[in-house]
Amino acid sequence: AELASYEEALAAYYSQQWDKAAGAFNALCSEHPDRNLYQLYLDRIRDLRNTGLPEDWDGVFVHTSK
């Protein structure tokens, strides 16, 4: 069930459906607080939400700081 929820959240993330992705990753964070990966995606969504990404964006995240 966790894997199916993660795949759904990831699909929303890649299609830039930020609200849907954030909701799904928030639910995963609540259910699995020991998994840092879900919070990482929430942080990325916060940063990418207002970024003008191209329609063919492939999900690559470019780190700009350490």
Residue 35 DSSP one-character state: -
What confidence score (pLDDT) does residue 29 get? 96
Q: What is the DSSP letter of 15?
A: T
Q: For 57-64, what is the mean pLDDT?
A: 74
pTM tops 0.85: no
What pLDDT does 28 receive? 97
Burial of residue 16, with CB atoms counted within 10 A of its CB: 0-12 exposed, 13-18 middle, 19 or more buried = middle
Q: What is the pLDDT of residues 23-47, one digit of tens each?
A: 999 999 999 999 999 999 999 999 8
